[in-house]
Structure 1
Amino acid sequence: MQSPIPSTITNYLIDSLPRQDRVSFLADCETIDLVFGEVITEPCGRILHVFFPLDCFISLIANLSESEQLEVAMVGSEGMYGMPLILGLDKSPLRAMVQGAGQALRMPAAVFCHHLEQSPAIEALLKRYLFVLMHQLTRVAACTHFHQVEARLARWLLMTQDRAHSDQLHLTHEFLAMMLGVRRAGITLAAMALQARGLIHYHRGDITVVNRAGLIEASCGCYVADRELYTRLLEEPA
């Protein structure tokens, strides 16, 4: 479903572009509504469009089999989906699935590649973001191996809260187990522990972040490391 481009853009990457580049870029975008659970691209599928989330967010999932899936990155209003195009590739190595419904700016892949060729500012910004995304991917691999489920769940809830722009999250244990690559029982115990510490409130799939500062303290250091890298490369002057 398409709708007019909002007058106030809330995607940080697009907001960061020089005005002339931003105006030209937005002229080739359309705003669409993304639905929870919608699969944008399957592994090895061709990337037909790039997406710049506004108030939605997209999970990038490594899919070994139907029963072996793990979220390895998350894209919200801080980033974009379609990064292989920057490397001259039009295939996705991961499944891209809408995790949070909402609006996104969409651009055809060929048009996006044309903007990359024409604008050094766009290319430079997105290469920095590509590095941040690569860091997130590698960090998740190490985090999954070394860190406890409770700390990983805290980190994941913080990442989701950042991209949902809300303290209220609707996430079932089954969905959380798939995203974190653990058994449902492990998610139940971790959620109960965070609730017992007064950090979240959980009831039938509805999670409320009650104490964000405490949740950051309970999370592994990966959350803060990701935020610091993003700030250093994308928010501070180059």
Structure 2
Amino acid sequence: MSSTQKPPVVNHLIASLPPVDRARFLQHCEPVDLVFDTVLCKPGEVYPFVYFPLTGFVSLMTIVSKHPALEVGMIGSEGMLGGTLALGVDTALLLGIVQGAGTALRMTLPHLKNELVINSALVRVLNRYVFVLMKQQSQSSACNSFHEVDARLARWLLMSHDRSHADYFHFTHQYLGDMLGVQRSAITIAAGVLRDKKLIRYARGKIHITDRLGLEAVSCECYAATAEDYFKKLAHPYERMVAVDSAGA
């Protein structure tokens, strides 16, 4: 546990609960740090805990032998890790690994299962969230198959930006290549395209987003489609949890 004080609720799923249900729910949560590269769940294994990110984000990775794990989904303050428990499934389908350091609220499986019995509002919002997460994963699969690398890179940076609470990241080209399932050289070319358009700048593994709207314009359609799914299916609009004046932080 990172602190004896509970952080303010900024996770969208928890914030969408009615006040009484939310207060009871938070009594069984503990604040923890999300440490970069920490594995939170493994395919086929029971979730040790469920996580509701506040800052930072978790990548959902699929594993194919003799290849690097490929990212097929991303979870930040809009969602949770372990949503399939709402479907009665307590084993993980994918590898969950922290790719953006930050903080989260953590809950044990018994406590979440109890809440799913007594908290109908939680059941409704998690069912909708699982649907949206499934759409994100299917959209990601199509994106990886059909879209150009620079557009896919723009989409990935936007999704990270939405969840990271910062305008810069420490990602190497090799790391980004692994995330998108392409060679490092393809990322170098794609990042160069975005840099030449003055949408990002980068040096020594640090990428800084300099033109958010411009990056949205060159991203493939998958980013907007995923954001629209959140807006339509959840009780709140999918929005960045980052202050307007954070640019240059």
Question: For residue 151 of structure 1, what is the aligned residue in structure 2?
Answer: 151
1:194 paired to 2:202: no
**What is the rounded CA distance, in whole Å, between the counterparts of 2:11 and 2:160 in structure 1?**
16
Q: Which runs of 5+ in 1 are unaligned?
A: none
Q: Distance in 1 between matches of 2:79 and 2:100?
A: 14
2:115 counterpart SS class:
helix
CA–CA distance in structure 1, aligned partners of residues 82 and 155 of structure 2:
24
Partner of 2:36: 36
In structure 2, list runs of 5 or more residues that go unmatched.
Answer: 238-249
Instruction: State the superposition RMSD in angstroms.
Output: 1.3
AA of the residue aligned to 1:106: R
Q: Alpha-carbon deviation of 1:6?
A: 3.3
What is the CA distance between 1:41 and its match in structure 2? Answer: 1.2
Match of 1:90 in 2: 90
> 1:236–1:163: structure 2 CA closer, same or farther, 3 Å change rule?
closer
In structure 1, the residue matched to 2:25 is 25
Aligned match of 1:56: 56
- 1:233 corresponds to: 233
Q: Percent sequence identity over matched residues?
A: 47
Amino acid at match of 1:127: N
Question: 1:235 & 1:162 partners in 2: Cα distance?
Answer: 18
Amino acid in structure 2 at the alignment position of 1:231? F
Residue 99 and residue 207 in structure 1: after superposition, are their counterparts in 2 closer, same or farther (change >3 A)?
A: same
Give the deviation of 1:65 after TM superposition: 2.4
2: CA distance between counterparts of 1:5 and 1:49? 20
- Find the aligned partners of 1:5 and 1:153 in 2 and give their Cα distance: 37
Give 1:209's aligned amino acid.
Answer: I
Structure 1 pair 44–7 and aligned structure 2 pair: CA distance change class (3 A): closer
Residue 86 of structure 2: SS of its match in structure 1? helix
String of CA shifts for 1:180-218, please: whole Å, max 9, x gaps.
011100111000010001100011110110111110011
Amino acid at match of 2:122: I
Shift of 1:66: 5.2
Alpha-carbon spacing, 1:81–1:236, altered in 2? closer, same or farther (3 Å) = closer
TM-score, normalising length: structure 1 = 0.96
Measured against aligned partners, the alpha-carbon deviations of 1:117-168 in whole angstroms (never above 9, x if no partner) come to 1111000011111111000011011111110110000000000000001111
Quote how far apart the aligned CAs of 1:20 are: 0.5
Q: 2 CA distance for matches of 1:126 and 1:161? A: 23
Alignment of 1:213-232 (within 5 A): 213-232=213-232
Partner of 2:247: none
DSSP-derived class of the 1:74 partner: strand
- CA drift of 1:2 comes to 3.6
Q: Which residue of 1 aligns with 2:112?
A: 112
Conserved in 1, the CA contact under 8 Å of 2:6 and 2:30? Answer: no
> What one-letter code is carried by the residue in structure 2 that aligns with 1:187?
I
Q: Provide runs of 4+ in structure 1 moved above 4 Å.
A: none
Instruction: Tell me the distance in 2 between the aligned counterparts of 1:47 and 1:61.
Output: 15
Deviation of 1:236 after TM superposition, in Å, equals 4.9
Q: Give the Cα separation in 1 of the matches to 2:137 and 2:40.
A: 19
Structure 2 residue 163 is matched with structure 1 residue 167: no
SS in 1 for 2:36: coil
| Partner of residue 81, structure 1 | 81
AA partner of residue 220 (structure 1):
C
Equivalent residues in 2 for 1:130-141, closer than 5 Å:
130-141=130-141
Distance in 2 between residues matched to 1:214 and 1:31, nearest whole Å: 35
**Cα deviations by residue, 1:35-90 (Å, 9 ceiling, x for unpaired):** 10001112112112110001121000001125232100000011000022111111
